[in-house]
Structure 1
């Protein structure tokens, strides 16, 4: 597998620093002044520490007067910014920067590595201490966050990525593609080496929970009172789905031999205190999403017939005839759609770009159904509803395994 290559100048700087206890790395575009201000605040709040800590952040200009601790136990390190790709490739650029941080951690032989988002909202003492607590005190190889989100937030994660990861790899991780995470020295090296060889390495996302699950590594979760705003201006949903879900499907193909042996999921230890969810949330109009689903059922019928078995197509026809007030997509139907699209992605039944585009109206149909169902529910009840969906992913995994092993037997 390809390894991240750092410039020689960065390697010399790392060699001069030597081994460290903790590396705190920031990925993404970050202003140097803003980073220095926040890092200085964290250093002051940490106070005197016996640990040697390195803050790493991206940039292409020489650092000037970085913050430092009185006893020189804290160092700031600048690493080259990853090259910017086309608009809308936030997660691909993030993975490149994350791998650079993990490579730095491996070279520094860092006991723990914390990878933080460039918006710096997690660069404060409380988040750092929680991540380090699970990593160091509880000896977790991977620590992922649980963010306080509303019942309508992060539905690509809640409806596909999280329950799919749980069913495939047997670990109940709320955010398998997190903005922040903490890793041990062992997993830092493992993740730094996880990029695929060739051009694909530059375009693959980083799924730390998948790698940790495959390695049977200890995983923990911590509650973080952190709110991220993902810039969505100019982004099309189909592009976002193609990046995130397409990458998850690639991981399925790479680790097929492993996930087919997993029979059930296990709880993930979680520490901290949950932040209360938003007190009130604006209701969402499901009608435009239902309209998108209906338009897709007319315009994409031929594509869906190449991907989905007859029984699923029949259920979708029944769904299209429902009134907006009665519109409900059963969990089993949605889960099997995701599994069928994963298989078609593997088999290249059609162009992968067209395939993932054809998933978009189906996803909007699921979102519309979910939104209508939980609109009058409390946050806790909506959480239980998502747990029910996650169990449906697990319950229908034999369907996926059968289709994966004998695709012709279920040929639409």
Structure 2
């Protein structure tokens, strides 16, 4: 497998280093303006909190044209932190970048692997401790981030991935696809050997984060969340940019529902997940969102997909409710949370039945519905603080839990 993702010259250089204690991986593509700050924060954090440990920091790049690897190598990092910039082989995408990092961790026999997004503008040296210590000192197998984010950031997480993961697998992991993680050697071995790489190419791209988190849950790893404070990065706007990411993340999530239905079918309630470190809410820079634009996307989607796809996917009652929602003007518009949960479950069930070649078009047709729910959330949260909005997201996730029997009644056992 190593020969598929790592160049032989890279392998030779890595093997010359010998075993290390910690691999720090930064996947990147076109992040020249931010990656040096990420490398410096993690470098000084590793130097401060992992004294005596041998650390290798890797930039796994997808062929950036803006000088990202050069920016990484020019960062002001303590001399004892070994650094390498590598160009992975194969499909370009975040998942492939992480796969290369996992191979480096295996080759170096690292005890832990820490991964951080290259576009973070709020990362501090303390993140190295918060992410790594639960694995390094307390035998956790997987650490996910616990951020403070603007209420309009991470809309796919808030409206879909968090509530579905919580309802299905019974763990309240607030940021299942946050982008900053820590993994034990055992989990790295599980992930790098998984045949999902070959059968589901979406995990070579943005589907990788939800696959990692779901695999960690279902394979029985001890999981905690690291309190990291504010998350400021380069967000994608739900009115554009998100189509490939949406299809890759949600498609992977639906595939994992099929793979692990023997796990989630018997789970009835969710439980809190430990948070490592202290956190407190603070208001952060606002992310601009345009609910009227999103509502128009929903209306356009109804014209394109309503009779064509939605009518087939949704139950008659849900289709009628969605039709009524799409007829409302902005002043009266609301996309109820219980309807949204049933819509998501309807799509998950239908995804399980349709041929693989129809998956992309099915997921594409779901995007206007997600945009409509996002518009509704923006209206509902207009006067609320980020802290109250976060509590509201938790309440929305509980609706998915409450409606899980709706999914159980419809889930085809052949999946």
Q: Deviations over 1:104-150 (max 9, x none)?
A: 11221111110112236476421111112222233211111122211
Match of 1:150 in 2: 150
Structure 2 counterpart SS, 1:54? strand
CA distance in 2 between counterparts of 1:323 and 1:168 reads 34
CA distance in 1 between counterparts of 2:375 and 2:270 reads 28
Match of 1:88 in 2: none
CA distance in 2 between counterparts of 1:142 and 1:54 reads 19
CA distance in 1 between counterparts of 2:182 and 2:234 reads 21
Q: Which residues of 2 match residues 199-210 of structure 1 at below 5 A?
A: 200-201=200-201, 204=204, 205-206=207-208, 207-210=211-214
- Larger CA deviation: 278-287 vs 361-370: 278-287
- Structure 1 residue 31, shift from structure 2 partner: 7.4
The answer to whether 1:266 aligns with 2:271 is yes
| TM superposition score normalised by structure 1 | 0.85
Would the alpha carbon gap of residues 33 and 163 (structure 1) be closer, same or farther in structure 2, given more than 3 Å must change?
A: closer
- 2:369 pairs, out of 362, 375, 387, with 362
Q: Which residues of 2 match residues 299-338 of structure 1 at below 5 A?
A: 299-302=304-307, 303-338=309-344
- Larger CA deviation: 397-406 vs 301-310: 397-406
- Structure 1 residue 266, shift from structure 2 partner: 1.4
Would the alpha carbon gap of residues 304 and 2 (structure 1) be closer, same or farther in structure 2, given more than 3 Å must change?
A: farther
Between the two proteins, the alignment pairs up a number of residues equal to 398
The structure with the larger Rg is 1
| TM superposition score normalised by structure 2 | 0.84
- Structure 1 residue 58, shift from structure 2 partner: 2.8
Match of 1:339 in 2: 345
- Structure 1 residue 311, shift from structure 2 partner: 1.0
Structure 2 counterpart SS, 1:228? coil
- Structure 1 residue 397, shift from structure 2 partner: 1.4
Would the alpha carbon gap of residues 256 and 376 (structure 1) be closer, same or farther in structure 2, given more than 3 Å must change?
A: same
CA distance in 1 between counterparts of 2:119 and 2:153 reads 18
The answer to whether 1:51 aligns with 2:53 is yes
**Structure 2: 5+ residue runs without aligned partners?**
64-68
CA distance in 1 between counterparts of 2:12 and 2:2 reads 21
8 Å CA contact 1:66–1:76 kept in 2: the answer is no
- Larger CA deviation: 9-18 vs 334-343: 9-18
Match of 2:119 in 1: 119
Structure 2 counterpart SS, 1:263? coil
Match of 2:66 in 1: none
CA distance in 2 between counterparts of 1:123 and 1:82 reads 28
8 Å CA contact 2:57–2:83 kept in 1: the answer is yes
RMSD across aligned positions (CA):
3.3
- Structure 1 residue 19, shift from structure 2 partner: 1.9
Q: Which residues of 2 match residues 150-299 of structure 1 at below 5 A?
A: 150-196=150-196, 198=198, 200-201=200-201, 204=204, 205-206=207-208, 207-224=211-228, 225-230=230-235, 236-274=241-279, 276-278=281-283, 281=286, 284-299=289-304
CA distance in 1 between counterparts of 2:21 and 2:286 reads 42
CA distance in 2 between counterparts of 1:325 and 1:257 reads 44
8 Å CA contact 1:2–1:193 kept in 2: the answer is no
Q: Deviations over 1:7-64 (max 9, x none)?
A: 3333333332222211111111377998678656755662582111111123589998
Structure 2 counterpart SS, 1:390? helix
8 Å CA contact 1:23–1:55 kept in 2: the answer is yes
Match of 1:390 in 2: 397
- Larger CA deviation: 125-134 vs 223-232: 223-232
**Structure 1: 5+ residue runs without aligned partners?**
86-92, 408-412
CA distance in 1 between counterparts of 2:38 and 2:243 reads 35
- 2:408 pairs, out of 396, 401, 404, with 401
